[in-house]
């Protein structure tokens, strides 16, 4: 098979996977818009901001402390699957599941312990303050990447697409009930918590159902045989890879999550509500790129496992990036021209002040459209540390400027910060990815533990 044929095959499978994922994401997007309109109009900027801050706090704690393992399952599981070594795959998943569940339990405990201290500083008060501690259970939404990695490895993208719709659909049903019953902010907080728990539980159930079909004799929480190889021996560099991949994901998501909390901390819940609606108005152009990166990562891992590194990987990578940017262009123009109308549609006239911020956040998202796929390629090559370094550079250099931007320019300063952070992160990612895919040497790709 020629490199050109292999490249076309990888790109076509990426977009086939993307199509399956986007089916569920389209449903999720419609549900998300519907529940946002209901919640924002029912609560107004201040109470909606409190709802978003309560949820954002759980996201931030979970993102920093949780330890996802899906990157490791796909990267190290692809060779095991190619060799037909199912026991090795399940030993790997057993290890990642234990690490992920343990870190998730620690994250929930830390979230509950810090909530009474941090919540008042974010402007959360009244009845909502009583729910911040139990809402830390929503951190379990992050504890689901082991089944996600297994489903990706087996290319079960239809199920992953359906999973995208679980939380938005639960929120929409709950939001309608809260509105009809007049339960107010407390009702919305409870619905958001239950939807987060449902998101995690549903993915574990999907993984279990697929495992019964493909690996009926396997048990995730059964002790391995005494003569089983050590997990590190049969997966060289696994621990280091997981550390780098987890740090990469943490730093990639840190800036937007910290930005929301910083806005609430410095400017209050109403400003956080405006910031959240502006983010939601522009997220539509970023989500397809993130989903595409998820679909592409699996194919990159399989391509690399079959020896297709260097030029074939680079061509497949940049072909998928180019198509994703072309697909986003009409939405970018539409949002830029009608930003005020969009935020008013989402939240009502009370949120019209988010229009200018939405344009700046749109620019930041446009700059970062290529970033998820660049990171996926680096991680699939075993260079999770290099991908992480791009996010660290952006965070270390840019995050200290966020409070200064908010203090000097008010809410719009968060938009200036987003653009600066995006430019820094993308620049480093492009440099590192070009360097990593510049040559194709024989043998397995070098990993960050070898560098």
Encode pLDDT of 13-53 as tens digits.
665 555 555 556 677 778 888 999 999 999 999 999 999 99
Q: How many CB atoms lie within 10 A of CB 357?
A: 28
Query: Has residue 221 been placed in a domain?
Result: no
Query: Quick check: helix, strand or coil at residue 442?
Result: coil
Tell me the average pLDDT across 148-159. 85
Tens of pLDDT, residues 183-230: 999 999 999 999 999 998 999 999 999 988 888 877 777 766 555 567
Query: Could you tell me if 178 and 41 are in contact, meaning their C-beta atoms sit under 8 angstroms apart?
Result: no
Query: Has residue 403 been placed in a domain?
Result: yes
How far is C-alpha 419 from the chain's CA centre?
A: 19
pLDDT of residue 446: 43
Q: Average per-residue pLDDT in the chain?
A: 82
pLDDT of residue 444: 39
pLDDT of residue 450: 38
pTM greater than the 0.85 cutoff = no
Query: Has residue 448 been placed in a domain?
Result: no
Residue 67 is classified by DSSP as -
Tell me the average pLDDT across 294-316. 71
Q: Which domain holds residue 280?
A: 7-215+238-440
pLDDT of residue 441: 42
d(CA 377, CA 387) in angstroms, rounded, equals 9
Instruction: Say which range, 44-48, 83-87, 222-226, 440-444, has the weakest mean pLDDT.
Output: 440-444
d(CA 394, CA 374) in angstroms, rounded, equals 15
pLDDT band at 68 (very low <50, low <70, confident <90, very high): confident
pLDDT of residue 67: 83
pLDDT greater at residue 388 or residue 156: 156
Closest CA to 295 of 15, 104, 9, 2: 15
Helix (H) or strand (E) holding 247: helix 238-267
Query: Has residue 229 been placed in a domain?
Result: no
Closest CA to 283 of 1, 23, 79, 25: 25
pLDDT at 152 over 50: yes
Query: Could you tell me if 161 and 21 are in contact, meaning their C-beta atoms sit under 8 angstroms apart?
Result: yes
Query: Could you tell me if 229 and 51 are in contact, meaning their C-beta atoms sit under 8 angstroms apart?
Result: no
Name the E strands within 124-184: none
d(CA 444, CA 307) in angstroms, rounded, equals 8
Q: Is the dihedral of CA 398, 404, 407, 412 positive or negative?
A: negative
Query: Has residue 446 been placed in a domain?
Result: no
Query: Has residue 47 been placed in a domain?
Result: yes
How many domains does one find in the chain?
A: 1
How much of the chain, in percent, has pLDDT values that exceed 70? 85
Q: What share of the chain is helix, strand, coil (3-state, %, to 5)?
A: 85, 0, 15
pLDDT of residue 438: 67
Tens of pLDDT, residues 319-372: 778 877 877 888 888 888 999 999 999 888 999 999 999 999 999 988 888 888
Tell me the average pLDDT across 308-318. 73
What residues contact residue 338 under an 8 Å CB cut-off, 6+ apart? none
Q: For residue 225, which phi and psi values (nearest 5 degrees)?
A: -60, 155
pLDDT of residue 320: 75
pLDDT band at 87 (very low <50, low <70, confident <90, very high): confident
Closest CA to 275 of 121, 53, 34: 53
What residues contact residue 109 under an 8 Å CB cut-off, 6+ apart? none
pLDDT of residue 14: 60
d(CA 215, CA 340) in angstroms, rounded, equals 52
pLDDT of residue 168: 92
pLDDT greater at residue 129 or residue 254: 129
pLDDT of residue 198: 93
pLDDT at 93 over 80: yes
Query: Has residue 189 been placed in a domain?
Result: yes
Query: Has residue 25 been placed in a domain?
Result: yes
Tokens, residue 33: 């818009």
């Amino acid at each position: 098979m020629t490199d050109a044929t292999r490249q076309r095959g990888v790109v076509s499978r990426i977009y086939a996977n993307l199509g399956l994922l986007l089916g569920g994401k389209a449903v999720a997007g419609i549900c998300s818009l519907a529940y946002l309109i209901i919640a924002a109009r029912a609560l107004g900027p201040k109470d909606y901001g409190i709802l978003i801050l309560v949820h954002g706090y759980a996201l931030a704690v979970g993102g920093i402390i949780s330890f996802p393992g899906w990157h490791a399952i796909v990267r190290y599981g692809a060779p095991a699957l190619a060799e037909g070594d199912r026991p090795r795959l399940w030993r790997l998943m057993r290890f990642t599941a234990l690490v992920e569940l343990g870190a998730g339990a620690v994250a929930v405990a830390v979230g509950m312990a810090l909530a009474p201290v941090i919540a008042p500083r974010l402007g959360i008060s009244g009845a909502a303050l009583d729910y911040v501690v139990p809402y830390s259970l929503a951190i379990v939404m992050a504890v689901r990447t082991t089944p996600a990695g297994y489903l990706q490895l087996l290319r079960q993208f239809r199920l992953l697409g359906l999973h995208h719709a679980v939380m938005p659909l639960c929120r929409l049903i709950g939001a309608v009930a809260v509105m009809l019953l007049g339960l107010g902010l407390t009702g919305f907080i409870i619905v958001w918590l239950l939807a987060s728990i449902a998101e995690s539980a549903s993915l574990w159930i999907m993984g279990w159902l697929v495992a019964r079909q493909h690996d009926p004799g396997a048990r995730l929480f059964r002790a391995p045989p005494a003569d089983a190889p050590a997990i590190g021996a049969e997966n060289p560099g696994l621990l280091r890879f997981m550390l780098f991949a987890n740090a990469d994901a943490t730093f990639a998501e840190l800036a937007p999550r910290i930005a929301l909390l910083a806005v609430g901390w410095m400017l209050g819940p109403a400003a956080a509500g405006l910031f959240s609606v502006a983010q939601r108005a522009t997220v539509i152009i970023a989500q397809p790129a993130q989903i595409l990166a998820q679909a592409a990562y699996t194919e990159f891992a399989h391509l690399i496992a079959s020896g297709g590194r260097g030029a074939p990987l680079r061509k497949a990578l940049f072909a998928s990036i180019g198509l994703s940017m072309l697909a986003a262009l009409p939405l970018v123009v539409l949002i830029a021209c009608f930003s005020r109308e969009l935020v008013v549609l989402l939240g009502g006239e009370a949120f019209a002040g988010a229009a200018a911020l939405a344009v700046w956040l749109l620019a930041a998202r446009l700059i970062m459209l290529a970033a998820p796929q660049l990171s996926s390629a680096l991680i699939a090559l075993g260079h999770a540390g290099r991908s992480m370094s791009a996010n660290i550079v952006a965070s270390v250099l840019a995050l200290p400027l966020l409070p200064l931007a908010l203090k000097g320019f008010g809410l719009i300063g968060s938009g200036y910060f987003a653009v600066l952070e995006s430019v820094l992160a993308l620049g480093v990612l492009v440099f590192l990815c070009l360097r990593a895919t510049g040559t194709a040497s024989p043998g397995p790709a070098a990993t960050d533990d070898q560098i």
